[in-house]
C-alpha cells in the first residue's frame, strides 16, 4: 500500500525543500500551491469567482490573476483570506486527490502532499502521516527575504498565519526542524522517511 505523507508548516520554513528531498528518495510529490495556481488560470471558473469576489484590480491586463494585488488584499485581512480559501479549496481538492490516486496507480512507494492548509482543508485525513516543517523566526524571515519579499510583506504573511506551528503540532506525527544546516535537515528527512515506510498503514 502506498504511503501518503502530508507536509505542512509555516511559510518560509522549507516545506517545498523537504518535499524535494523526498522526491529524490523516490516519492511522488503533489504541491497544493501549484494546483491552486492551475485552477485560476484563464478560462477556469475559479478565476472568475475570485475576480467577482475581489474586483477587477486582481486581474492583470493579460487576463491572468494578479497575485501580488490579490496578496495585498488577503494577507492584510483575515476575512478576505477566508473568502479566497472558500473559493479555491473546492476547486483544488478534487485535483489533488486525483493526483494522489494517479501516483498510487503508477506504483509510487509514497506520495507527498505539500499544503500549507493541509489540516484545515481536511486533506490531512487522506494522509497516513502529517509532517510539520518548522524553523526559527529569524531563519523564516531570512528565507522569505531570499524570495524577494520585503520585510513588511514578509511580516504581513507571517502574521496572517498566526501561531500556525502551535496549532498544527498536536496533529503532527513528525516534526522536521529545518533550522540547522541543510545537511542536518536532509538527514532528518531521510531518517523520517525510512521510518515512515516501515510503519504499518491501516486504512478504513
pLDDT of amino acid 204: 44
In a domain, 150, yes or no: yes
pLDDT of amino acid 117: 87
In a domain, 204, yes or no: no
At 37, the pLDDT band (50, 70, 90 cuts) reads very high
Three cell numbers written together for 57 = 484590480
Query: How far is 96 from 117, CA to CA, in rounded Å?
Result: 13
What is the total count of domains within the chain?
A: 1
Residue 31 Cα to chain centre, angstroms: 6
Give the CATH number for residue 69. Answer: 3.40.50.300
Residue 115 Cα to chain centre, angstroms: 2
Burial 147-163 (b: 16+ CB within 10 A, else e): eebeeebbebbbebbee
Report the percent of the chain where pLDDT is more than 70.
94
Query: How far is 182 from 66, CA to CA, in rounded Å?
Result: 33
In a domain, 16, yes or no: yes
* Beta-strand relationship, 129-134 and 110-114: unpaired
Q: pLDDT, tens digit, for every residue of 98-119? A: 999 999 999 999 999 999 889 9
Give the count of beta carbons closer than 10 Å to the beta carbon of residue 36.
21
At 145, the pLDDT band (50, 70, 90 cuts) reads confident
Q: Which domain holds residue 167?
A: 3-197
In a domain, 202, yes or no: no
- Whether residue 172 has pLDDT greater than 60: yes
Q: pLDDT, tens digit, for every residue of 13-27? A: 889 999 999 999 999
Segment among 51-65, 102-116, 135-149, 168-182 with least mean pLDDT: 135-149
At 202, the pLDDT band (50, 70, 90 cuts) reads low
In a domain, 203, yes or no: no
Q: pLDDT, tens digit, for every residue of 65-93? A: 999 999 889 988 889 999 999 999 899 99
In a domain, 64, yes or no: yes
Calculate mean pLDDT across residues 48-71. 95
Amino acid at each position: 500500500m502506498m504511503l501518503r505523507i502530508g507536509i505542512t508548516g509555516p511559510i518560509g520554513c522549507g516545506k517545498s525543500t523537504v518535499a524535494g528531498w523526498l522526491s529524490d528518495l523516490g516519492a511522488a510529490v503533489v504541491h497544493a500551491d501549484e494546483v491552486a495556481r492551475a485552477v485560476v488560470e484563464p478560462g477556469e471558473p475559479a478565476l472568475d469567482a475570485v475576480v467577482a469576489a475581489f474586483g477587477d484590480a486582481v486581474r492583470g491586463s493579460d487576463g491572468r490573476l494578479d497575485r501580488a494585488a490579490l496578496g495585498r488584499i488577503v494577507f492584510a485581512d483575515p476575512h478576505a483570506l477566508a473568502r479566497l480559501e472558500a473559493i479555491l479549496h473546492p476547486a483544488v481538492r478534487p485535483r489533488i486527490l486525483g493526483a494522489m490516486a494517479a501516483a498510487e496507480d503508477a506504483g509510487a512507494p509514497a506520495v507527498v502532499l505539500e499544503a500549507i492548509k493541509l489540516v484545515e482543508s481536511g486533506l490531512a485525513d487522506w494522509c497516513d502521516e502529517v509532517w510539520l516543517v518548522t524553523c526559527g523566526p529569524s531563519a523564516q524571515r531570512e528565507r522569505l527575504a531570499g524570495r524577494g519579499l520585503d520585510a513588511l510583506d514578509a511580516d504581513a504573511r507571517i502574521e496572517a498565519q498566526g501561531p500556525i506551528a502551535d496549532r498544527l503540532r498536536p496533529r503532527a506525527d513528525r516534526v522536521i526542524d529545518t533550522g540547522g544546516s541543510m545537511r542536518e535537515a536532509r538527514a532528518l528527512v531521510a531518517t523520517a522517511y525510512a521510518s515512515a515506510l516501515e510503519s504499518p498503514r491501516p486504512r478504513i
